[in-house]
A = this chain, B = another copy of it.
Amino acid sequence: MNDIISEIEDIFHSKSLAIYGVSRKGGLGNILLQGFIDQEFPNLFIINPRITEPDVEILGVPVFPDLESIGKPIDLAICSTHPKYVKDIIIECGKYGVKAVVIFSAGFGEKGEQGKKAEQELLEIAQKYNMRLIGPNCMGFYCPETGLSFFPALPTESGPLGFISQSGSIANILAFSSMLKGIRFSKSISYGNAIDLGFNDFLEYLGEDPKTNIIACYMEGIDDGRRFIKLVENINKPIIIWKAGATRAGSKAAHSHTGSLSGNDRLWNNVFEKYRVNRVYNLEEMISMIQAFINPMPVDGRRVAIISGPGGPAVSSADACEMNNLKLADLTNESKAKLREYIPEFGSSMSNPIDLSLQATFDPILEKNAYEIVGTDPKVDMMLIWLTMLTPRYKDLLKLQEDISKPIAIVSGIDVNVSADSFSKKVKRSFIHIRAKKVPDIIKNLNQKGISIHPNEHLAAKALYNIYRFYNSNAN
């Protein structure tokens, strides 16, 4: 473990925490604090020099006018004050032996030259005291295992996903969106302007972190391209990157957001392509790709079998596969003969894409048999399954997957859980459906077996291709 990695590991295992910017009247600092309270972080202290009377508590957390008054060692500080107070806070933290400070406060490098000078000054102070800085203009860390947090109401359960984000809000939104799909984090990092620890440091750390199986990132630009390339070349875990600033307009926006230079997009694409980094373009795509890589099934061919009840989406899924560099599997004659025994004679198709006809909606055994026959076919490497909606039949897939261990992507069109108006009650009566509150756990179970669920066939096909490419260095 090199120095930076062990320092980051220490920060994630901070045992005591002081937070600046919490006040009696509330505000962002109080919201950050609530996050730590929800995670039951053990040793929390509020520093507010305006509150000098003894034994004051806010949200049940003791308030001190300065670090000195706490009288105990503090590992980590969070600074959520007006930017004009940050310098003095950094000095105080340095003197008191704090190991790292998360500067939540914005109003530095992203605001121009003067802000950049202020950042330089903060960095020099920190270096003098051998203290690490995260930010400014960031949300900091979320780590359920050790109780770090950047927002209230985040899951306390850990998971395999490590996330690195230049944008604080995206770290936050991803945590909430993916929560509803049963996705859990090892660590989530929002690093903002990165005057000290930055993207590459955290990428290197997550690359070696035994608790992280998959790395996802939101980035606008990075400082050291060579180091980045060396890292993605050597990290053997799946890496998913949402790289914004792809266009002239986006690049300009990135500059005023985090002061980033987003670079030449074609160069980025070449690097991503060469090192099999999975590039995504928005949150929806990112969640699709995360699901696919929670526990991807090793595969050395790209022959996909498409199974669909509805015939139209079967045709569209064939398009999506070809557009994503996949091949339609040619089933063995044995499989075709077996399918012929089960699939209705009319309104169906035995050749790939396999169209089970409307009958599939009413005959659960039909789907189960088709999954088994197609899934065990030696000429099928991967499966793309179009479901009208998620039904209890997902259990058939979970069971089959134990035998076949092939990448499976599901497209699910109607989410009966989206609304509860009078019509959706009727819909729920017409189809076998799953209780809303069970959905995140079901998705989680599917993901853990290498089965992912996607909002459309193009993302499902992209996920399957990316899994294939991950395991096959000479893929094209």
- By a beta-carbon cutoff of 8 Å, the part of chain A in contact with chain B is 28, 31, 38, 82-83, 105-107, 111, 137, 151-153, 155, 165-170, 172-173, 176-177, 179-180, 218, 220, 242, 244-250, 252-254, 256-258, 281-285, 306, 309-316, 318-323, 328, 345-349, 351, 353, 355, 357-359, 362, 388, 413-421, 423-424, 426-427, 429-430, 436-441, 455-458
Q: List 19 A-B contacts (CB under 8 A).
A: A151-B430, A169-B311, A169-B358, A169-B388, A176-B427, A180-B419, A218-B312, A244-B315, A244-B316, A247-B319, A247-B323, A249-B322, A250-B319, A253-B314, A281-B320, A282-B320, A418-B439, A420-B437, A421-B437
Contact A257 B220 (CB under 8 A): no
Question: Which of these, B151, B349, B441, contacts A257 with CB under 8 Å?
Answer: B349
Q: Inside 8 A of A242's CB, which chain B residues have their CB? A: 316
Question: Which of these, B283, B315, B418, contacts A245 with CB under 8 Å?
Answer: B315
Contact B309 A169 (CB under 8 A): yes
Q: Inside 8 A of A312's CB, which chain B residues have their CB? A: 165-167, 169-170, 218, 220, 244, 257
**Assembled-state Cα–Cα distance A353/B250 (Å):** 9
**Assembled-state Cα–Cα distance A309/B283 (Å):** 15
- In angstroms, how far is the closest chain B Cβ from the Cβ of A370? 16
**Assembled-state Cα–Cα distance A438/B420 (Å):** 8
Q: Inside 8 A of A310's CB, which chain B residues have their CB? A: 167, 169-170, 172-173
Contact B437 A319 (CB under 8 A): no
Q: A220-B312, A247-B322 are in contact. List 5 more A-B contacts (CB 8 A).
A: A173-B413, A244-B316, A253-B314, A257-B312, A420-B436
Q: Inside 8 A of A455's CB, which chain B residues have their CB? A: 284, 455
- In angstroms, how far is the closest chain B Cβ from the Cβ of A219? 10
- In angstroms, how far is the closest chain B Cβ from the Cβ of A101? 17
Given A169-B358, A427-B176, does the pair A418, B421 have CB atoms closer than 8 Å?
no
Contact A253 B315 (CB under 8 A): yes
